[in-house]
Structure 1
Amino acid sequence: MTRAPALPTLRPFALVAAALAALVLGGCGVNNIPTYEQSAKAAWAEVQNQYKRRSDLIPNLVESVKGFAEQERKVLTDVTEARAKAVSVQVPADILTNPEAMKQFQDAQNTLGGALRQLLAVVERYPDIKSGQNFLALQSQIEGTENRIAIARRDYIQAVRQYNTEIVTFPGRLWKMALYPTAQEMATFDIPAEEQAVPKVDFGTSK
């Protein structure tokens, strides 16, 4: 009498082999590319969030410093125009893989930041303005926002560096070719050396 093959006995071995394969693949970084990609996207969302917060604060800031002399009112115009330009910049869906779009976005934000710094420097000439309650309330908000912008940009740059390195080095490059062929390097931006440290906005209240 011919005995049937003992196929069921192979099932436990197949399960063990599948489990071992999953562990090996996980250890080899098969999930690194999508993980790093999501981390970079989350960091970018925080960058946008902090820039928006700064933009939202500017109208109140401009309103609180309208006591400037006529010859210095140009700084208010510059800030208002820079804010309008920054807000109007279209952020395409592919901005993270579009260096030109990223540069346009960052240039607009840098222009706004420069105009804002100029405005705050002019305030130093007006003790009545910089000691007003509205301005003092904005002091803490502006300072905190500038700090958060610096941190968010730093985190984004680091996340993009990690992701871009993963898809062009071994073994990530192999996983990209095999499983993630559409993965592209993400665009980043440079931070001037003077902005590498978390900025401190001084409104003349420091001793």
Structure 2
Amino acid sequence: MSSFRPVVVVALAATLTGCGINSIPTAEENAKARWADVQNQYQRRADLIPNLVSTVKAAGAQEKSILVEVTQARAGANRIQVTGEQLTDPAKVAEFQRAQNAVTLSLQRLQEAYPELKSQGNYTTLMSQLEGTENRITIARNDYNSAVQAYNTQIRTFPNAIGAKIFYGAKPMVPFQATTPGADTAPKVDFGG
């Protein structure tokens, strides 16, 4: 009977390993870390916006409504936060995406409304930083979506699906998706030049 016990322990360990006992939390934490990267890049963009608004104001821009729109969109986006635990809630992720899209659209309107600012050094520098940040946001969202895909695949495929349900009660995470109509086509930006 004593020689039977080590065989049972090894068989149980192999079964648990095959059920994703370690790989599922690892994949979940990776997806949460990638989400933090997405939020970090959106925060970087939000931090640049007040400087951009100040630059436009200093240039004597007459159209205040677009500046107000940019400022309000930034404030709205900063109010919407999604934690790692909320990544399985499609409504919360969609709310976050809508708020961020509002910032993007208001920045595009700002560029279209003030083409004469492109000759000012501060404005050009800030817009370059924002452009770089938009690229970082795209990369961060892609990395997050890849991590979510890996996690969702792991919790839905055999044998990991067993461990995911029994040990963790794992739910699929929501990938970041375009929610703006026409988001699949690049916006036309005309600086009038």
TM bracket (short chain): 0.7 to 0.9
Residue 133 in structure 1 maps to residue 124 in structure 2 = no
Count of matched residue positions in the alignment of Structure 1 and Structure 2? 186
CA distance in 1, matches of 2:90, 2:15: 36
CA distance in 1, matches of 2:109, 2:120: 19
Contact kept? 1:62, 1:76, Cα under 8 Å: yes
Q: Percent identity?
A: 46
Alignment of 1:83-102 (within 5 A): 83-91=74-82, 94-102=85-93
Q: CA deviation at 1:89?
A: 2.2
Alignment of 1:18-57 (within 5 A): 26=17, 29-57=20-48
> Could you give the per-residue CA deviations for residues 159-202 of structure 1, whole angstroms, max 9, x where no partner exists?
1122112212212211223332x21211223133236xxx9xx8
Contact kept? 2:18, 2:159, Cα under 8 Å: no
Residue 188 in structure 1 maps to residue 179 in structure 2 = no
CA distance in 1, matches of 2:8, 2:190: 65
CA distance in 1, matches of 2:20, 2:185: 36
Residue 79 in structure 1 maps to residue 67 in structure 2 = no
CA distance in 2, matches of 1:131, 1:47: 31
Structure 1 pair 168–131 and aligned structure 2 pair: CA distance change class (3 A)? same
What amino acid is aligned across from residue 142 of structure 1 in structure 2?
L
Structure 1 pair 166–93 and aligned structure 2 pair: CA distance change class (3 A)? closer
Higher gyration radius (CA): 1
CA distance in 2, matches of 1:90, 1:28: 33
Q: CA deviation at 1:32?
A: 2.1
Q: Which residue of 1 aligns with 2:158?
A: 170
User: What TM-score, normalized to structure 1?
Assistant: 0.76
CA distance in 2, matches of 1:28, 1:97: 21
Gaps of 5+ in 2: none
RMSD: 3.1
Match of 1:144 among 121, 132, 136: 132
Gaps of 5+ in 1: 1-6
